[in-house]
Structure 1
Amino acid sequence: MGIADSKNKERDRSRRSDSIFLPLLSFLLRRTFIILPLSLSFSLLLFLERTLKILYFFSTTEEKNRHHYPFEGGSLAKSRSFEMSTGDLLNIDPVELKFPFELRKQISCSLQLSNKTDNFVAFKVKTTNPKKYCVRPNTGIVLPQSTCDVMVTMQAQKEAPPDMQCRDKFLLQSVKVNDGATSKDITAEAFNKEAGHVVEECKLRVVYVSPPRPPSPVREGSEEGSSPRGFVSDNGHANAAEFATAARAFTEQLEAQDKSSEARALIAKLTEEKNNAIQQNKKLHQELELLRREGSKSVGGVSFMFVIFIGLLGIIMGYIMKKS
């Protein structure tokens, strides 16, 4: 009897525990099924937000680098494609003619034309300012799968343009010609679009860049570790104000050199005239001394002959007087 009672008590106790544990377990499971998707969704949202922030940071950084350093932060192929123009007939490198501007000095810039076809291609170079530039050759033939170098020379300029900006432009025209054609076969009609010829055109602009500057002396003291201020701004183009200042300084230096050279030439000319005057003076002194000597000789000879003549005359007169 006691054993049966104890078993019944244990059974009741297990039932009570089950009645408490099972609702609690079901409650926790329901909460887990609700909270777990919410927590996963929240974690996913945080991950997406951070990913978007990282992508935005890299995109803005790349945009800034592209703005400030157009030739950096990218591959060499991208920078070369920016500098080079690719057409169906010719590849033109570069599309910007960069001249290191200096006053009173001829400056040259090379242009390379590459024929990527299997045909003979004729080209012609035009400019908006033909008196300022010399193009050699301005017309020619580029053989198939070969290159041709064109030299553009800017004549010496007496004064710098305002803000160091140049509005001069070039136009390069190219057209297919018959195989075996030479430069003598090129005519103006070959580049006439109205005649039905397929003419490719590429516009080239002129850009003034800063000339190479001499190395500055090393500064002492606190300025020793400081880097010198560059002559080119962040966007890769020359600073107009610094460019104009350098041009004015260069002009003043040239004027001072011209004045000093003129002064040296004047001094040399005056020295030469002084030497010529001294030589002429010496020559005149020599001629005067020679004339004096000849004059003294002639004067001395006349007086001696006169004395002899008087003596002879006296002797003759005395002889006659004695006879008489």
Structure 2
Amino acid sequence: MATELLQIDPPELRFVFELKKQSSSLVQLGNRTDHYIAFKVKTTSPKKYCVRPNIGIIKPNEKCDFTVTMQAQRIAPPDMQCKDKFLIQTTVAPFGATEEDITYNMFVKDSGRLIEEKKLRVVLISPSSSPVLLPVNGDMKLDTSKEIDVQKDRVLSGVENIPPRTVPEEVKGLEPIKETKEDRAEGNTVPIQTENVGDMKAAKDDVQLSLDNESEELKSKLGIMDSKLREVTGIIIKLNEERRRNTEEKDSLKKELELLKREINKKRTQGGFPFLFVCMVALISVAVGYYIHS
């Protein structure tokens, strides 16, 4: 298939970052084909984000939205730089498929299916860029030009949270962040930036994503092997049961044969000469006596 399965808008996830507050970002997926498309959303930090829905079906030439919510954070990342990434996997689904028809094997690369993957990076927006109050003729007025710019930015980026109109006092002291005793006790220390830290974190995220994919593929293969093992175990149990029945029938036949032999030997021992033998002897005696007397 020459064209991409989905059109992703926006190409990155943008969040208005405020300490101890949640923030959401909206992503729209557009089906550019004449097929039913199944999608799945993954992230390198599953405990930090909530994706709804994280799987779905998009009908031909239609669109679907999913929302990513970033949980409230206690500390701000250095320089407002976030290394988290999201992965959107897409594949062609059977015609008329629904979300209930989506299985894990649909996104396994070894299955031979066409699977497209798109990575989205996370961009943090400082709330200091929100509209502020300006004094006009002694009265506090909103700076409408900045408000319009922020609204446009919110529409283009898909950010659902509306930035506050005033800058909170707790936000003014975000940069630089000073480490406190409580943060040291809880392990919430601010990492020191070096020249290669960003590259190392990016490589670590890629490795983590690759490990997650390999782990899911391994789980799928283990599940298939487990089902086959159960089938083989069932066959072995059936064969053992049949062998047990055959052994019981064989033993029963042996016992009946032994009983029959015993009865025959008993009759021979108790009966003396057979009746037919006695009759033959009597006939021969009669014939000999008649021949002598004649």
TM-score of the superposition, structure 2-length normalised?
A: 0.46
Structure having the higher strand fraction is: 2
TM-score of the superposition, structure 1-length normalised?
A: 0.42
Higher relative contact order (CA 8 A, sep 6+): 2
